[in-house]
Amino acid sequence: MDSKKAQANALGIGIIMVAFVAIIVGVVLFQAIAQEAGKATDTTDLVNLSVTAGADGDSVYLTDYRAISVTSITNNTGAQVLTDVTDYTVTNNVIDPTTGGLSVQVTTNAATYESEVWYVSGTAQPTTYVGGAANSITGLIAIFFALAIAIIALEPTLRSGVLNMLGK
């Protein structure tokens, strides 16, 4: 009888050890998942990103971003606000011919701006941004992972019958 009791205790300790290790690993992975989910769903506020304009019809690529909602582009003195369509054209989600990655294409529409420094301001999506419906689902991944960790933590307690003893 004592050997059966010892086996039951060893099994119980084994289950607790497995649960403990699974919880520790789960918490570490959860932290990484939550951080990456946050990076993938956050936009960036750009203030005076410096770019050098090309000749009339030439393009400059913003390789750190895949899309931008431009609020203003000013010239190198900061005094002249350039006008969309007349002075430049912004195209989002364009493949950069030099890197092959997604980028924002800024095309110069006037020869007077060739080699001039422009300052771009606006809200941008980094190349790691997850858009559309996937943006909502990305947060759910972290939530369901946290629920899985909670279930792993509760499983030994539920299996041992402690809750049944408390109810009686």
Identify whether residues 70 and 121 lie together within a single domain.
yes
Identify whether residues 146 and 83 lie together within a single domain.
no
Q: What is the domain count for the chain?
A: 2
The 10s digit of each residue's pLDDT in 57-79 is: 889 999 999 989 877 888 876 66
Q: Which of 104, 123, 114, 126 has the alpha carbon at shortest distance from 41?
A: 126
Identify whether residues 122 and 66 lie together within a single domain.
yes
The 10s digit of each residue's pLDDT in 118-156 is: 888 899 988 888 777 777 787 788 888 889 888 888 887
Q: Which domain holds residue 85?
A: 44-126
Taking CA atoms, 100 is separated from 9, 95, 103, 121, 152, in Å, by 60, 6, 9, 24, 43
Identify whether residues 26 and 51 lie together within a single domain.
no
Identify whether residues 114 and 72 lie together within a single domain.
yes
Identify whether residues 78 and 119 lie together within a single domain.
yes
| Choice between 24 and 110, residue whose per-residue pLDDT is larger | 24
The pTM (predicted TM-score) of the whole model is: 0.64
- For residues 147 and 150, give the distance between their C-alpha atoms in angstroms, rounded to a whole number: 5
Identify whether residues 48 and 37 lie together within a single domain.
no
User: pLDDT at residue 103 above 90?
Assistant: yes
Identify whether residues 81 and 113 lie together within a single domain.
yes
13 phi/psi in degrees, rounded to 5:
-65, -40
Identify whether residues 49 and 122 lie together within a single domain.
yes
Q: Which of 87, 131, 84, 127 has the alpha carbon at shortest distance from 104?
A: 127
